[in-house]
Amino acid sequence: MGIIEGEKKAFMTGNEAVAWAALVAGAEIMYGYPITPQNEIMQYWTRLAPKHGRKFLQTEDELSAGFTTIGGVLTGKRAFTATAGPGNVLMQEPMSMAEAMRIPTVVVVQQRGGPSTATVIYSQQEVTLTCFGGNGEGLRVVYSTSSHQELYDYTIKAFNTAWKYRFPTFVLADGYQAKMRESLVLYDPEERGIEMVPTEPFVGKPGMPGEDRPPAHLRNTYNIEEELEEVLKKDIQEYEQMAPEIIEYDEFNTDGADVLVIAHGVVFRSAAMAVRKLADEGLKVGYFRPITLRPFPQEQLRQAAAKAKQLMVVESAYGQLLKLVKDNLYGMDLPIHTHLRPGVGVTPEEVVADLRTVLEGRED
């Protein structure tokens, strides 16, 4: 019997939506450490979990939250954690190990202001960290959500992506999504025909190791350069092979756009509202939204950009999405305008005003 019967309309915070999503996705254990604005994920989980035979451990810091999550996953359980800001910085050490050892961890990040302690409120400043944190190549999956419904949907999906492809998977949201209340529909994945990818233990399989089965000898350290290269080659190849299967994006009105707006996460909502308003006025504006920031929808963005005259990147950071965009458009010659508000929310009105300036500039 499912935890949720049928479709259930709800009006709740994003943090609560994440806890429900993890529950219906079959997450068996959460390991966590308090940091605002993700605290309520743990708070809802610790209320929901005992009713459904699920577990929780509050750890001593985010290093421990990440490494205990790895331990839980190694036993073949869907395990997850959640963090933000300076906690996300510490989380990069365990997630670097998960990346090296292909351990399917799930981490929900509710971005707050940075650098350092900054604000407990909101930002989009953890894009680079979440996509490329750790001393490696960023072999991980990052979904950037823009609504509570998506927080719910993508938290469920994150467990499946992680366990299917065995790369650490992140749901990247922010303090607004974490703390706002918004309506969404809760559902049991099975009732929507979403099959949860089965899990498998890395350690503690039945049988005598060395007799009935080989022992698990899991490591992240290598003696020689070529040994490491061989492992990385395979991981990178598998990552690139997987990318087209999981890349997600959204686009609107891209044909012959005078300005193509590029935004992700909650800022995308402001950008989309602005674009639709101007499009309704008959102006040639469109938008492109990467949903997966890692792997990035490179081909799709390049196709959309090829049809546009100029671009405008809008984000609550000082050029982190911009960097991704430039990197993925390498070799294309297009003017890129920006609307960068590090650690500050973006309203549709601001985007409309900036777009008008750019569009008028074109007319000059």
Partner 1 sequence: MDIQPKMPKSWNAATKPHKFCPGCGHGLILKALGQVIDEMGIQDRVVFGCDIGCSLLSWDFFNVDTVQTHHGRTTPVMVGIKKARPDRIVIAYMGDGGGYAIGSQHLVNAATRDDKITVILVNNTVYAMTGGQMAPTTMPGQKTETTPFGRDVEQAGYPMMGPEMVAAITQEGAYVARGSVAKFRKLKEYIRKALENQIAMRGFSFVEALSTCPTNWRTNAEKTWEFVEKIMPEQYPLGELKVPVIKEG
42 binds partner 1 per the rule CB under 8 A? no
- Which 143-202 positions form the footprint of partner 1 (CB under 8 A)? 202
Distances (CA, A) of 48 to 16, 18, 20, 165, 360: 10, 12, 8, 28, 54
Rounded Cα distance between 6 and 171, Å, is: 25
Closest approach of Cβ 5 to partner 1, in Å?
28
What is the DSSP track for 35-60? -TTSHHHHHHHHHHGGGGT-EEEE-S
Rounded Cα distance between 340 and 314, Å, is: 6
Rounded Cα distance between 125 and 146, Å, is: 15
Closest to partner 1 by CB, 218 or 306: 218
Pick the piece of the chain touching partner 1 (CB under 8 A) from 74-82, 226-234, 241-249, 250-258. 74-82
Choosing from 85, 94, 133, 168, the residue that interacts with partner 1 (CB under 8 A) is 94
Pick the piece of the chain touching partner 1 (CB under 8 A) from 38-46, 55-63, 179-187, 293-301. 55-63
Size of the site for partner 1 (CB under 8 A): 39
Pick the piece of the chain touching partner 1 (CB under 8 A) from 107-115, 192-200, 214-222, 271-279. 214-222
Rounded Cα distance between 206 and 212, Å, is: 9
Both tokens of residue 315?
């984000």
How many other β-carbons are positioned within 10 Å of the β-carbon of residue 168? 30
216 binds partner 1 per the rule CB under 8 A? yes
**What is the residue whose two structure tokens read 């929507």?**
192
Choosing from 2, 6, 50, 204, the residue that interacts with partner 1 (CB under 8 A) is 204
67 binds partner 1 per the rule CB under 8 A? yes
Interaction site with partner 1 (CB under 8 A): 28-29, 31, 55, 57, 59-61, 63-64, 67-72, 74-75, 77, 79, 93-94, 97, 202-205, 207-211, 215-221
